[in-house]
Homo-oligomer: A and B are copies of this chain.
Amino acid sequence: MKVDGVHYRSIWFNDETGKVQIIDQRWLPHEFRVVDLTTRKDFTAAIRDMWVRGAPLIGATAAYAVAVEMARDPSDASLADTWNVLHETRPTAINLRWALDDMKTLLSPLPASERAAAAMTRANEICEQDVEANRMIGVHGLEIIRSIAARKKPGEVINILTHCNAGWLATVDWGTATSPMYHAHQAGIPVHIWVDETRPRNQGALLTSWEMASHDIPHHLIVDNAGGHLMQHGQVDMVIVGTDRTSAHGDVCNKIGTYLKALAAADNNVPFYVALPSPTIDWTVKDGVAEIPIEERGGSEVTHVQGKLADGTVAEVQISPDGTPGGNPAFDVTPRRLVSGLITERGICDASPEGLAALFPERVLD
């Protein structure tokens, strides 16, 4: 998508320098920094410390990490070790494991001498597949927006609420939840986005607001508390969120607070959609609430907030008394009964075992 009118992806292989480059998202929206990832340590830091975030982008980054490491040491031990080290960086994002398994399956049978080239080719393919999957999510999601528009007066604005950043910055391009928004905007349908701040890390305030502004899509930043009230008063036509892991039965693990928005949507008959490329589905998990482990992050993310001071420098402020302990579960699981539908690259389905099985018959376990 666009940054100051220039097309960017969130990660790319730079043919001229022979290096993988990313947008270091820790500095957005206040600074736009592109950095090289050259060593495995760079890649693990980038994923663990959230220079990159978002399930699909984490998967793509991990794939490049394997490729870069294979160029250094293509041995079986190196491959196994790289899988382990990267897998530990972020426990919730299923795409991370998906990408690592995909690379391992491809590379293991190959002679060591062929691994580096094959790995880089595959990492590039994973990126292209992600872009295409997200584009198709937009194509399918656009139809939902069109159907809402058809029930409104011509030109009337469609209000869409989103939580966290499931934008192009969370994927290689297009985004998942944002792809239908971008497609609708490009199709001339007037959309307005309610951007949830998404405490504690403020991905909505920092990233989704920035994406919307960069593409001239009308939006308002709201606190995470506000969505229920807006839905109660008819100011939200639909909710679209992304997901870090969706169970084979359709339960949706996503950024903490998603479940609260799903409850409010159900209580007010607002359609609640989840956009996901299929690598985000964990076919081994059925009951998402019971089975998906939830990452507990440091309490300082709750007690401290980063932002820009009046003088333009970026600083962190403490919002609570000295010594206040913070509790910080990073994700929650929205039970499938609260989900109106899953928007995938293959189309839209019910959030149910049957719905997913119909779209992905090859993945259904016995």
Which of chain B's residues have a CB closer than 8 A to the CB of A308? 317-319
Q: Is the CB of B229 within 8 A of A332?
A: yes
Residues of A within 8 A of B (CB-CB), count: 64
A41 to chain B, nearest CB (A): 27
Partner of A220, one of B223, B319, B325: B325
Q: Secondary structure at chain A's binding surface: helix, strand, loop or mixed?
A: mixed
The verdict on A263 contacting chain B, using a C-beta distance below 8 Å, is yes
Distance in angstroms between the alpha carbons of A324 and B30 in the assembled complex:
12
Q: Is the CB of B302 within 8 A of A306?
A: no
Known contacts A213-B324, A321-B209; is-contact A200 B229 (Cβ 8 Å): no
Q: Is the CB of B256 within 8 A of A263?
A: no
> Which listed segment binds B: A120-128, A179-187, A191-199?
A191-199
The verdict on A224 contacting chain B, using a C-beta distance below 8 Å, is yes
Distance in angstroms between the alpha carbons of A144 and B294 in the assembled complex:
31
Identical chains in the assembly: 2
8 Å CB interface, A204-232 against B: 205-206, 209-210, 213, 219-230, 232
The verdict on A260 contacting chain B, using a C-beta distance below 8 Å, is yes
The verdict on A81 contacting chain B, using a C-beta distance below 8 Å, is no
Distance in angstroms between the alpha carbons of A229 and B224 in the assembled complex:
14
8 Å CB interface, A149-172 against B: none
Distance in angstroms between the alpha carbons of A10 and B276 in the assembled complex:
51
Distance in angstroms between the alpha carbons of A320 and B30 in the assembled complex:
8
Chain A contact residues, CB within 8 Å of chain B: 29-30, 194, 197-200, 202, 205-206, 209-210, 213, 219-230, 232, 255-257, 259-261, 263-264, 267, 289, 294, 299, 302-310, 315-321, 323-329, 331-333
Q: Is the CB of A328 within 8 A of B257?
A: no
Partner of A264, one of B220, B221, B260: B260
Q: List 26 A-B contacts (CB under 8 A).
A: A29-B320, A205-B303, A206-B319, A209-B320, A210-B320, A219-B324, A221-B299, A221-B302, A221-B325, A222-B302, A223-B256, A224-B224, A225-B260, A225-B332, A228-B257, A229-B256, A232-B289, A232-B332, A259-B264, A260-B260, A260-B264, A263-B263, A304-B307, A309-B318, A310-B315, A310-B316
Which of chain B's residues have a CB closer than 8 A to the CB of A229? 256, 259, 294, 329, 331-333
Q: Is the CB of A228 within 8 A of B302?
A: no
Partner of A317, one of B259, B299, B305: B305
Closest residue of chain B to A218 (Cβ to Cβ) is: B325
Q: Is the CB of A257 within 8 A of B223?
A: yes
Distance in angstroms between the alpha carbons of A307 and B318 in the assembled complex:
5
